[in-house]
Chains A and B, each alone.
Chain A
């Protein structure tokens, strides 16, 4: 699912003397998902051979829950990466929406269906506020995002005083365990969100304009794209997706806690980048992002299955990210160097 407006030209290889093996190798090297694909297959093979429990229905279900939530978090980051910006407040928006969600259900008895809608609206508003400050004040986007991350988190802690909300309606908590023909409901929701985002970027004018803004803001503006509006839309979408991920996580955990989302920041960047999206904007790969999220989930899962202390997970995550980034960088320069 590549979405690149005009860039990344693939030159026809003029030579006829290439051997078939070389052709296959070059086609493989050109493939955007080559790095993450190889890593995923290799780790998956090792795990399925070494640890039979990897295949168990229980383990696969737990994997799919992780991928479902991480995927939506990563989509939230992807939305702003498309315009070439970062959302450092993603985790704070998640925590804030999760707690607000639990609070209105527990204190005011709001039906959970209504609370979900309100929660996503709240997340969108928090994202829109961030976009509006960036666009209308011209303050450096990184500073705005950092400042709002602290402000949202501080406001959440100040208002909730670190409380968590555990008395959620059983019908809502059941959603976290529900399955449709064996597929967990949360994964279905996550994939639906992914398809919607992919359609947005590939099939709609707004999506192309978002990517054009990220690829080169000045050029996009000269071509008649209202880039300010695009940045506003990207941040709003990011907030909405962070809120969706928070609600999904609350359903999965069965409670709304202030620590919700505290682990999201690294995966939110790692999954899109592992999947070949650019941090500098203009190029987003939704499918690749989900493969990236799957790779992160499989690594965490593998550590648990091998009985490695969870404390080492962060080290391994960082190393994997660095290696994958370096390999991806090497692949891109190999493709450029050989004019593939």
Chain B
């Protein structure tokens, strides 16, 4: 068994339909161990369905192996190695913090209670509190403390910081990176707030209408894609190089190129690596290069707003 190249999640022709709606349209993917993958897509793109399939929460057609197991038929064994935080608070409101610790310690062979108590000691959460008495941020902290004390190989996060203020969100990802992540673990994060987590990701995957539209490592993003803030007089020349997407910002035109030599572009304006959010808008825009950037930008803002 080799360490490098061992697939944590492997799917071939993964399909799921709810009646006439196709949530997953034949997805092929392979996520290696030790990666932090950002799963990005508009609402209804199939992110949650994909994660549910990986977690054994939904049936599917096609082939799917998570850590070598079939999640649908072997969910309970798989959950010894997989942890999961969903988009909304799923800890039952009647549960006491001490009961949560007792229960997880009772059923999970890989739960380190001392570690969980250590994480909780850094928060304002008291052992005797019930979940219903905690604020939304504290519930997330509690769930994270439980999950980080489990020696799992795959952690799946579906909008884990939805509705939290920026302090909690930052703290969440900081502790995940500093106290949890190592190269034996894999983390899959589905989120809309992609700008906030872009620096923690090693890989990014865009998903739209049940299909993967982009799947590459962050290094690849940096080497392949470049944004050019073009000087007005060079606009025609820049457009001739077939930009993927075009938008306006502060009165200047910004063009996004895929696989165009940086040397060639350097003379036309200022270059920079696009943010994942900008790249997402560019890749998902229906007619690349045609659409006024502001509208697409607004659309992105809209669906982020709608999710909250």
Q: Real complex partners, A and B?
A: no
CB within 8 Å of A: which residues of B?
none
Residues of A whose CB lies within 8 Å of any CB of B are none
